C-alpha cells in the first residue's frame, strides 16, 4: 500500500494550488478540474478538504468521470494509462490534469471533450 493512499487530500491541495498559480492559472480552474474528475460538487470538495479525507476515501466517494480513461501521458515518468492499481491510477489522473492545467493547456482540452 502506497503512503499516498493514507495522505489527506487537504495536505496535497495547497501544492496543487501553488503549482497552477505559479503558471498563471486560478484556484477556480483547479477546482473545476478536480470536480470534473471526481463528480463532486463544490460543497462536497470543500467538505473533503476540511475533514482531512485521505486519497483512499476521497476516491472511494468519487463518481469518476467516464472520460477519465482518456487521460494519458506521463506523470513523474510513469504512464498513467499503464498504472495497474486502480486507486493509484485515479491519483495519477488527478496529477496529470493538474500538470496539464499548469502547463497552460486550454481548459476545454484538459476536460476531455
pLDDT value of position 91: 96
Q: Does residue 27 sit within a domain?
A: yes
Q: How many domains does the chain have?
A: 1
pTM for this entry: 0.93
pLDDT value of position 113: 79
Q: Does residue 37 sit within a domain?
A: yes
Q: Does residue 94 sit within a domain?
A: yes
pLDDT tens, N- to C-terminus, the chain (113 residues): 689 999 999 999 999 999 999 999 999 999 999 999 999 999 999 999 999 999 999 999 999 999 999 999 998 888 999 999 999 999 999 999 999 999 999 999 999 97
CATH number of the CATH domain containing 72: 1.10.8.290
Residue in the structure block whose three cell numbers are 498513467? 80
Q: Does residue 73 sit within a domain?
A: yes
Domain that holds residue 12: 3-104
Cα–Cα dist 100/105, whole Å? 6
- E-strand spans in the chain? 74-75, 78-79
Q: Does residue 112 sit within a domain?
A: no
Q: Does residue 109 sit within a domain?
A: no
Amino acid at each position: 500500500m502506497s503512503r499516498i493512499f493514507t495522505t489527506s487530500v487537504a495536505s496535497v491541495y495547497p501544492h496543487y494550488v501553488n503549482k497552477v498559480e505559479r503558471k498563471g492559472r486560478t484556484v477556480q480552474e483547479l477546482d473545476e478540474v478536480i470536480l470534473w474528475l471526481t463528480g463532486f460538487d463544490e460543497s462536497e470538495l470543500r467538505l473533503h478538504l476540511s475533514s482531512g479525507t485521505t486519497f483512499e476515501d476521497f476516491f472511494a466517494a468519487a463518481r469518476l468521470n467516464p472520460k477519465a480513461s482518456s487521460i494519458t501521458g506521463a506523470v513523474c515518468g510513469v504512464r498513467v494509462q499503464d498504472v495497474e492499481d486502480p486507486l493509484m491510477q485515479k491519483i495519477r489522473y488527478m496529477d496529470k490534469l493538474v500538470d496539464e492545467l499548469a502547463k497552460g493547456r486550454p481548459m476545454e482540452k484538459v476536460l476531455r471533450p
